[in-house]
């Protein structure tokens, strides 16, 4: 359904052509400075139309806080936020509406709801993610105040063009230790911090745009400065919650944490993260971080990092040989101009969902910490 | 926590050295034939000691239904199941207990709970999964009665040895259409249905066993005959629930559905699954199935298939240079014999978690179906 | 928190002086006719200022649907609704703000959140209930379409003035069988259908208004035409869900179902509801209904009826000897005019919460019905 | 369903004639001393057969902890507990089984599950409450360690015989301040601390026993030493959670907190609880406690007290004119001897459910406390 989280919880609403999209965020701690200015940057990063390579539509997407703050401080009560839709009239049905768009949600929504919405894909529309990003911004600000938690996502693959993301390569681990959003954004809309491949990624996108086609990519995300102890055995392991969150993002097709798929061919003797005592932080740390910051489902204080593949955009202008809802074979060609690669725009969504998972897990763990401190 | 699911819900308990492990399954439909005989086969498949390559311990693992059935039929009330632990005495502390085992959950459990359990890893022990497999067996029987749903998992990679799992290859799709548990088990403990690589997989395991080391692998799972409409936008997309379930399995490091990570470099024009009208079933189907049976988070009636990587086992007999809880550098070597590759044993666990996700999603969707049928 | 329900779920937001109040309703069946016109009547019934006896403030409270409908039909997606606050500026702090209002939520909110909100009681404000009433209107429309479910609440007590609500009296049972909202509203703002006591109730309120005081009352609610089978043993018994819902309404102090507190002194031989076969409906019914339509936590097809006491309004204009947050003794007198009896206005809120509980329980039960129909 | 609570969570199972009944308690803090000896006393108090007035059956009800402790200390992992059923064979069907017992759950279970269980009422059996009492014992021990929280329930009414429970009477408030379980048990099985009426209560029960009939009663419960801040607006108000818990107990018909139903006729000027600064505890307290320790849904540090009516036992030996499942009129007379008044035995169940609600609310609030402490 449209609610996510236990103690820090977001509920979202809205589709393309209704009056507004938005969310209610419940469980926000009181006494935290918060205005729209804190949230707008990530919403703006999410917007289409940020470069000539992206879709030229210009959604304004100004967030308005409705409740839960007073004089710029949170009250501890639910924070509702809305973003008005520019064009909230459902469109007229056209010839194209006879076709369920291939690999889009039209057919399955029709099966589930019995409705062929004109509303641009209903909840499968990318506009659904606006509420997530607004909510994630609050979670992120809270995490920052807890322990300077940093969440940075970036593009590591577009089509066949990859940057190094080998978990066993110290260079990649160095990137995870140092990457910032400023660095990511300095690379332009492509949001790949590796200058040696970013240009090729742009070309890859241009290539498919030229063919009225689309192409997918991979987003990698790192979390730094997270306390130990987050995550709850056995079904709410921290990586399970993150995987749930990532696979709930439209167009995502997977998730891997730490060494992921590559790690399965590395033997235990090399894969195991040995411990040492860190003189600086005065606590145990691991020499390597193939676990990706989580062991036994619980954060261990090292960087959490994971990757998420996003499939090629389903909406393309090329003609497609498919059939109508009624089973008549025919040719569908989407009108208008379409974004050939949404992967870079997924960055703030990945960051937001990560923040929502972590804020919730942290609130739960702080309760566990307390309980443990009083028992005997 | 230890509860999973909304309307079909399992709660598990137990660790290595307590009296028993087990679960309570709530929301099981009434009137279904059910005895221990239905559940034991998957529990037996989960057991260690099934071949010379695997660990020689022999856990008996006989499940006993405590409640919720009468005269061999379910009552609709919670079904509790227990499996006694053979050795339920916590062991004596030894020199080895001074060390948090690398890449095991010892350190993070200590951080979270402040306790260094002698109980073989607490809830991070593989015995925790017994309750899941017992519960999954009930879910699976229900799904079978709904629409002959079939769930088959199999090994597609051990270390560097892979069988073909290219989603764009018709041969792989053919395997997904036809693979059975009988076929999987016919390959012996390795549970890889591709005879051309299964031998090499066995050799890979033998190699690492010889080195007192361990190695990981990948499990792929297919679901056939599932109705359309399962999964709930936007946070409870069916693939998000599956990812959550899979990443909650000990040692799993990822999840990919349909075309997964490979699919990101395939353009939309090729990646999109075109529709056609299937004369046999009299409904829309897709010509290809790169989506993996789910579009917009909702099942579309095609096969669902996904893969899950399992890391190399953390417990190895080799000496490891690590440090104690107190920060003293030292050498840890696990005593006894250990399973060098648990991937094949993960098969029934993957199947069980899949069944639990689907039974729950199906119950929810049937409610949606009803509601839609009466509104106007 | 601010979310209620499992499959039919409402999340509310808003306090007195923020921009708007409202809610998101998730799990609404698709294909149902729905516009603001369906929801406004109950919101209007909830409004203050409906008579000279009530508070003279005039809140407009026009609901605006933001999402989830198209061309007047529900889409199956979340329905967000907002009602703008007329005065959304937090007021200036005054001398009175030094005092936590006795029996209001000021002190406990301060303890919980560390904040002394100027926002008229934060979420303890009666405006919080607007979202509930809007959401309940949707639930109610759905229940109507399912089986013509009728929910009617009415005032049965104001201060010491009671109408007959003896569950063992056939006259009261007759009222439960026949009462309508039209009848309730025909009695004016007092909403007590018994003309023989309604006048005295009005006098009771006038009496306390004259003393700048307030008085409480009791609301009784009946549900007719509900299917059997709703409610889930053992913690989600239907009466437990109703009790939860009723005690979540501001100022409510209790709940009793069927024979309630009075019934404890009636022996089993008289209290038990004997069965008979009803020729008209061709099913088992009970000769009496002391159970209040629920047995073993599950609806039995008879009328559900229950009562809810509402305490005297905490905000009164009389001077009160109390102390400030800082512990200084002093005298507090609320400014302005205040509603001396909110019980009649609680009617639509009780109806809304009842509808929310029942819609959710019904959706769950329809899933159980299905499951049972396929097992063997 | 059979799970209750969010962070401190119990899941129960079992009916009369299955192998065992019990529960899994999840979220128990680690490091707490815990053995069966801590839990057995309340289970023993719950047992039937404690006096000649009660049913002569002797259930042994020895609880066995299965998991989650080691060397007498909790591990932080789920604690499973089982109590074996003495007679776990489903009985043979008899003539009496043709009748749904009036005001029992037979009919509604049949409607919901399509099954006429021989298992003594399925989950509606009083044995279902064993798991609750075992779980409540753990919750209670935790609360004791937090702040010496005391929970004491006692009988305040049997049939028409009442002890004083007028919330506005200082004598009753004194009882709430001082009552202990030792005092309650010192009165024998009747568990009413008021010697002036306890004898009449016993006579009331004897009277109905003599008539092969049954009679109901009221249990009142007080909680002392609870911290402020527990409970979550707006749907999870602390009194809403308590009401939910109480109405989930078999045979309960209501709930009232603080002044409850009586309070509605007391004007605000008298009902409001004025504040004063308490020199001893150095914090604000209220001069009266008509609110019952909760304001705005949040605990205020005063005693929480509430009452719960229990209906007359449905199973009586008297002949009852009712009809069979098939609609045939006939006479039903329960065989054997039956408990004429279960109210005194409800005491430990009420205490257990109270402890479960409070432990969960406390864990949540401690998380809120933390969050508030770090924001700025």
- pLDDT tens for C192-209 read 999 999 999 999 999 999
Does C76 contact chain B (CB < 8 Å)?
yes
Does B333 contact chain A (CB < 8 Å)?
no
Size of interface A-C (CB pairs under 8 A): 156
What's the rounded mean pLDDT across residues A58-70? 86
Active site residue A339: yes
Of A18, A64, A66, the CB nearest to C67: A18
Does B132 contact chain D (CB < 8 Å)?
no
DSSP state of A338: -
When scoring A141, A149, A230, A371 by the number of chain D Cβ atoms within 10 A, the one with the most, hence best to mutate, is: A371
Q: Confirm whether the ipTM is greater than 0.90.
A: yes
The catalytic position among B26, B104, B106, B194 is: B104
- pLDDT tens for D2-21 read 999 999 999 999 998 899 99
With contact defined as 3+ CB pairs under 8 Å, the chains touching B are A, C, D
Please report which confidence band the pLDDT of residue D94 belongs to, taking 50, 70 and 90 as the band edges: confident
Active site residue A104: yes
Residues of D in contact with A74 (CB under 8 A): 375
- pLDDT tens for D240-276 read 999 999 999 999 999 999 999 999 999 999 999 999 9
Cross-chain Cβ contact A70/C117 below 8 Å: yes
Tokens found for residue C260: 């309630």
Q: Which residue of B has its CA nearest to A217?
A: B264
Q: How many domains does chain D have?
A: 1
- pLDDT tens for A101-112 read 999 999 999 999
For residues D353 and D132, give the distance between their C-alpha atoms in angstroms, rounded to a whole number. 7
Active site residue A17: yes
- pLDDT tens for C105-129 read 999 999 999 987 555 567 888 899 9
Q: Which of A31-35, A315-319, B29-33, B272-276 has the lowest mean pLDDT?
A: A315-319
Residues of C in contact with B30 (CB under 8 A): 372, 375
For residues D346 and D219, give the distance between their C-alpha atoms in angstroms, rounded to a whole number. 8
Whole-number pLDDT of residue A185: 96
Half-sphere exposure of C275 (CA within 13 A, CB side): 28
When scoring D18, D64, D69 by the number of chain B Cβ atoms within 10 A, the one with the most, hence best to mutate, is: D18
Show the domain range for C231.
Answer: 3-375
Percent of chain C with pLDDT over 90: 85
Cross-chain Cβ contact B114/D14 below 8 Å: no
Q: Which residue of A has its CA nearest to B342?
A: A264
Residues contacting residue D138 through CB under 8 Å, at least 6 positions apart: D25, D28, D34, D38, D39, D79
Comparing CA positions, the residue from C178, C161, C187 lying closest to residue C45 is C187
Percent of chain B with pLDDT over 90: 85
For residues D137 and D353, give the distance between their C-alpha atoms in angstroms, rounded to a whole number. 10
DSSP state of D90: P
Whole-number pLDDT of residue D60: 76
C268-to-C165, D107, D330 alpha-carbon distances in Å: 20, 17, 18
Cross-chain Cβ contact C117/A12 below 8 Å: no
What's the rounded mean pLDDT across residues B79-85? 96
Please report which confidence band the pLDDT of residue A56 belongs to, taking 50, 70 and 90 as the band edges: very low
Residues contacting residue B292 through CB under 8 Å, at least 6 positions apart: A253, B167, B239, B257, B258, B259, B260, B302, B303, B304, B305, B306
Does B68 contact chain D (CB < 8 Å)?
yes
Give the CATH number for residue A85. Answer: 3.60.150.10
> Is the per-residue pLDDT at C175 higher than 50?
yes
Please report which confidence band the pLDDT of residue B56 belongs to, taking 50, 70 and 90 as the band edges: very low
> Is the per-residue pLDDT at B126 higher than 70?
yes
Residues of C in contact with A123 (CB under 8 A): 77-78
Of D18, D109, D112, the CB nearest to B67: D18
Whole-number pLDDT of residue D374: 96
Please report which confidence band the pLDDT of residue C272 belongs to, taking 50, 70 and 90 as the band edges: very high
When scoring C104, C109, C234 by the number of chain D Cβ atoms within 10 A, the one with the most, hence best to mutate, is: C234
Residues of A in contact with D370 (CB under 8 A): 363, 366-367, 369-370
- pLDDT tens for C273-292 read 999 999 999 999 999 999 99
Please report which confidence band the pLDDT of residue B60 belongs to, taking 50, 70 and 90 as the band edges: confident
When scoring A24, A230, A268 by the number of chain B Cβ atoms within 10 A, the one with the most, hence best to mutate, is: A268
Whole-number pLDDT of residue D56: 45
- pLDDT tens for B199-234 read 999 999 999 999 999 999 999 999 999 999 999 999
> Is the per-residue pLDDT at B57 higher than 60?
no
Task: Show which of residues 274-303 on chain A sit within 8 Å of chain B, judged by CB atoms.
Answer: 274-277, 284, 286, 290-292, 294-301
Cβ proximity of B371 and C363 under 8 Å: yes
Tokens found for residue D35: 């053995």
Cross-chain Cβ contact C66/A3 below 8 Å: no
Of A3, A13, A117, the CB nearest to C80: A13
Cross-chain Cβ contact A286/B121 below 8 Å: no
What's the CA angle centered on C198, arms C193 and C202, to 5 degrees?
135
């Amino acid at each position: 359904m449209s609610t996510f989280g236990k103690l820090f919880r977001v509920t979202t609403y809205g589709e393309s052509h209704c009056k507004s999209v938005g969310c209610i965020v419940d469980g926000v701690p009181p006494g935290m400075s918060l205005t729209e200015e804190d949230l707008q940057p990530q919403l703006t990063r999410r917007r289409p139309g940020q470069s000539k390579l992206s879709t030229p539509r210009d959604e304004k997407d100004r967030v308005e806080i409705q409740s839960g703050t007073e004089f710029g401080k949170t009250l501890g009560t639910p924070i509702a936020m809305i973003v008005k839709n520019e064009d909230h009239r459902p469109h007229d049905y056209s010839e194209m509406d006879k076709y369920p768009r291939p690999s889009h949600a039209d057919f399955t929504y029709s099966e589930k709801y019995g409705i062929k919405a004109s509303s641009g894909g209903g909840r499968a529309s990318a506009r659904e993610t606006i509420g997530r990003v607004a909510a994630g911004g609050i979670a992120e600000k809270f995490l920052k105040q807890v322990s300077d938690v940093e969440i940075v996502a970036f593009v590591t693959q577009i089509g066949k063009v990859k940057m190094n993301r080998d978990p066993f390569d110290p260079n990649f681990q160095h990137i995870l230790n140092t990457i910032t959003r400023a660095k990511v954004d300095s690379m332009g809309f492509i949001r790949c911090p590796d200058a040696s491949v970013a240009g090729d990624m742009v070309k890859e996108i241009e290539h498919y745009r030229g063919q009225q086609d689309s192409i997918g990519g991979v987003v990698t995300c790192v979390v730094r400065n997270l306390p130990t102890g987050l995550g709850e055995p056995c079904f709410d392991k921290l990586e399970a919650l993150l995987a749930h969150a990532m696979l709930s993002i439209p167009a995502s097709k997977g998730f891997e944490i730490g060494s992921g798929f590559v790690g399965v061919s590395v033997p235990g003797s090399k894969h195991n993260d040995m411990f040492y005592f860190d003189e600086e932080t005065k606590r145990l740390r691991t020499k390597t971080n193939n676990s990706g910051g989580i062991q036994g489902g619980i954060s261990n204080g090292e960087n959490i990092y994971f990757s998420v593949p996003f499939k090629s955009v389903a909406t393309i202008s090329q003609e497609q040989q498919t059939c109508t809802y009624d089973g008549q074979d025919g040719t569908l060609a989407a009108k208008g101009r379409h974004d050939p690669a949404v992967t870079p725009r997924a960055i703030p969504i990945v960051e937001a969902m990560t923040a929502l998972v972590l804020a919730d897990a942290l609130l739960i763990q702080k309760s566990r910490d307390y309980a443990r401190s009083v028992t005997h």
